[in-house]
A and B are shown apart, each in its own frame.
Chain A
Amino acid sequence: MPARPLKQIHLAAQLPSVQHTVIWSDPSAGSQIAFDSFAHLARTAERGRFDFFFLSEGLRLREHKGRVLDLDVAGRPEALTVLAALSAVTDRIGLAATVNSTFNEPYEVARRLATLDHLSGGRAAWNVVTSWDAFTGENFRRGGFLAEADRYTRAAEFLHTARELWDSWRPGDFRADAAAGEFVRPGAGRFAHRGRHFDIAGRFSTPPGPQGHPVVFQAGDSPEGREFAAADADVIFSRHADLASGQAAYRDVKARLAKYGRSPADLKIIPSVSYVLGDTPAEAAERAEEVARAQVSPQTALMLLEAAWGRDLSGYDPDGPLPDVDPVPENVVTKGHNLYRSRGREETVRHWRKTAEERGLSIRELIVEVTARPTFVGTPRQVADAMNAFVQSDAADGFVFSPNVVPGGLDELVDRVVPLLQEMGVHRAEYTGSTLRDHLGLKPARRHFEETP
Chain B
Amino acid sequence: MTHLHLAVALDGTGWHPAAWREPDARPAEILTARYWADLVLEAERGLLDFVTVEDALGLQTSAFHRPDDRTDHVRGRLDAVLLTAALAPLTSHIGLVPTTNVTHTEPFHLAIGIASLDHASLGRAGWRPQITSRAADAAHFGRRTTPQLTDADVLDSELIAARLRGLFAEAHEVVEAVRRLWDSWEDDAEIRDTATGRYLDAAKVHHVDFAGAHFSVRGPSITPRPPQGQPVVAVLAHASTPYELAAAGADVVFLTPQSRPDSVARLDAFARARQHSARPAADPVRTFADLVVFLDDAPGRAAERKQRLDERDGGAFGSDALVFTGTPAELADLLLDWRTTGLDGFRLRPGALPHDLTAITRGLVPELQRRGAFRTAYEADTLRALLRLPRPANRYAPAG
Q: How far is the CB of A130 from chain B (nearest CB, A)?
A: 17
- B99-107, B261-269, B270-278: which one contacts chain A? B99-107
Residues of B within 8 Å of A343, CB to CB, are none
Q: Which residues of B contact A103 (CB under 8 A)?
A: 106, 108
User: Are A189 and B27 in contact, with the CB atoms below 8 A?
Assistant: no
Select one of A89, A115, A176, A209 contacting B28, CB under 8 A. Answer: A176
The reply to whether A35 and B217 form a contact with Cβ atoms under 8 Å apart is: no
B168: A residues at CB distance < 8 A: none
Within 8 Å CB of A300, what residues of B? 197
The interface residues of chain A lying within 8 Å CB-to-CB of B107 are 141
Known contacts A39-B89, A67-B202; is A200 also within 8 Å of B119 by CB?
Answer: no
Q: Is A244 located at the chain interface by the 8 A CB criterion?
A: no
Q: Are B120 and A200 in contact (CB under 8 A)?
A: no
Which residue from B72, B83, B85 sits with its C-beta under 8 Å from A182? B72
C-alpha spacing A24/B200, complex, angstroms: 11
Considering the chains assembled together, what is the distance between the CA atoms of A94 and B273 in angstroms?
49
Complex CA–CA separation, A89 to B87 (angstroms): 10
- The answer to whether B75 touches A82, judged by C-beta atoms less than 8 angstroms apart, is no
Interface residue A255 (Cβ < 8 Å from any Cβ of B): no
Closest chain A residue to B56, Cβ basis: A205
With A and B bound together, what is the CA distance between A33 and B143 in angstroms?
A: 34
- Decide yes or no whether B201 CB sits under 8 A from chain A: yes
A184 close to B75 (CB less than 8 A)? yes
B29 to A, closest residue via Cβ:
A176
B64 lies within 8 A of chain A by Cβ = no
Which of A50-91 touch B at CB < 8 Å? 58-61, 67-78, 80-82, 84-85, 87-89
Among B60, B109, B141, the most chain A Cβ lie within 10 Å of the Cβ of B109
Cα–Cα distance between A202 and B78 once the two chains are bound (Å): 17
Q: Of A68, A87, A183, which one neighbours B220 at CB under 8 angstroms?
A: A68
A184 touches B76 (CB 8 A): yes
Indicate if the CB atoms of B33 and A61 lie closer than 8 Å: no
A70 to B191, CA, bound (A): 10
A77 touching B116 in the complex, CB below 8 Å, given contacts A111-B79, A119-B78, A142-B143: yes
| Chain B, Cβ-Cβ closest to A141 | B215
Cβ contacts under 8 Å, B139 to chain A: 200-202
- Give every chain A residue within 8 A of B115 (Cβ-Cβ): 77-78
Bound together, the chains give a CA A239 to CA B13 distance in angstroms of 48
Task: Report if A206 contacts B (CB, 8 A).
Answer: yes
Contact B83 A115 (CB under 8 A): yes
Q: Do B88 and A85 touch across chains, with their CB atoms under 8 A apart? A: yes
Q: Is B140 an interface residue (CB 8 A)?
A: yes
Interface hub of B76, B104, B106 (most chain A Cβ within 10 A): B76
- State whether A140 and B58 are in contact (beta carbons under 8 Å apart), knowing that A183-B75, A206-B76, A298-B197 are contacts in the complex: no
> Are B57 and A76 closer than 8 Å at their CB atoms?
no
Contact check: which of A33, A174, A205, A207 meets B119 at CB < 8 Å? A33
Chain A residue contacts of B25, Cβ below 8 A:
178
A81 to chain B: which residues have CB within 8 Å? 81-82, 85, 112-113, 116-117, 120
Given A141-B107, A174-B76, A298-B197: A70 in contact with B141 (beta carbons within 8 A): no
Q: Which of B69, B83, B192 is A84 in contact with, Cβ under 8 Å? A: B83
Give the chain A neighbours of B109 by CB distance below 8 A: 78, 104, 108
B222 engages A59 (CB within 8 Å): yes
Bound-state Cα–Cα, A189 to B216, Å: 33
Residues of A close to B108: CB separation below 8 A: 59, 103, 139-141
Residues of A within 8 A of B218 (CB): 60, 138-139
Q: Do the beta carbons of A108 and B57 come within 8 Å of each other?
A: yes
Nearest-Cβ distance from residue A268 to partner chain B, whole angstroms:
26
From A107, A108, A188, A202, contact of B75 by CB (8 A): A188
How far, in whole Å, are A85 and B116 apart by their CA atoms in the complex? 10
Cβ proximity bits B208-244 to A, threshold 8 Å, 1 near / 0 not: 0000001111111011100000000000000000000
A24 touches B20 (CB 8 A): no
- Nearest to A193 among chain B residues (CB) is B142
- Check: B198 CB closer than 8 A to any chain A CB: yes
User: Whole-angstrom distance between the alpha carbons of A277 and B218 in the complex?
Assistant: 43
Judged by a CB distance under 8 angstroms, whether B153 is at the interface is: no
State whether A202 touches B222 (Cβ < 8 A).
Answer: no
Complex CA distance for A207 and B59, rounded to whole angstroms: 10
| B78 (CB) vs chain A CBs: closest residue | A115
User: Counting CB contacts under 8 A, is B90 at the interface?
Assistant: yes
Q: Is B2 an interface residue (CB 8 A)?
A: no
Q: How far is the CB of A183 from chain B (nearest CB, A)?
A: 6
Q: Per-residue 0/1 for B119-151: is the Cβ within 8 Å of any A Cβ (1 yes, 0 no)? A: 110100000000000001101111100000000
User: Given A71-B198, A75-B222, A84-B83, are A119 and B116 neighbors across the interface (CB < 8 Å)?
Assistant: no
Complex interface: chain B residues within 8 A of A139 (CB) = 108, 217-219
A299 near B: Cβ within 8 Å? yes
Residues from chain A with a CB closer than 8 A to the CB of B120 are 35, 77, 81-82, 85
Q: Are B21 and A178 in contact (CB under 8 A)?
A: yes
Minimum CB–CB distance for B39 against chain A, Å: 14
Measured in the bound complex, the distance between the Cα atoms of B28 and A204 in whole Å is: 18
The answer to whether the Cβ of A116 comes within 8 Å of any Cβ in the partner chain is yes
A8 to B87 alpha-carbon distance, docked (Å):
35
20 more CB-based (< 8 A) A-B contacts, given A119-B32, A141-B106, A184-B71 = A33-B119, A58-B222, A70-B202, A71-B199, A75-B190, A77-B116, A81-B120, A85-B120, A88-B90, A89-B89, A105-B141, A105-B143, A119-B86, A142-B143, A178-B25, A188-B71, A200-B139, A200-B140, A201-B140, A207-B76
Of the A-B pairs whose beta carbons lie under 8 Å apart in the complex, a sample of 11, sorted by A's number, is A25-B197, A75-B200, A75-B224, A78-B112, A78-B116, A81-B112, A85-B86, A88-B86, A108-B109, A189-B59, A300-B197
Give me the interface of A with B, judged by CB distance under 8 Å: 24-25, 33-35, 39, 58-61, 67-78, 80-82, 84-85, 87-89, 103-105, 107-108, 111-112, 115-116, 118-121, 138-143, 169, 174, 176, 178, 181-186, 188-189, 198-207, 209, 297-300
Identify the 5 closest CB pairs spanning chains A and B, nearest first.
A141-B215, A77-B116, A138-B218, A84-B82, A81-B116
Chain B residues near A (Cβ < 8 Å): 20-21, 25, 27-28, 30-33, 37, 56-60, 67, 69, 71-79, 81-83, 85-90, 104-109, 112-113, 115-117, 119-120, 122, 136-137, 139-143, 185, 190, 192, 194, 196-202, 205, 214-220, 222-224
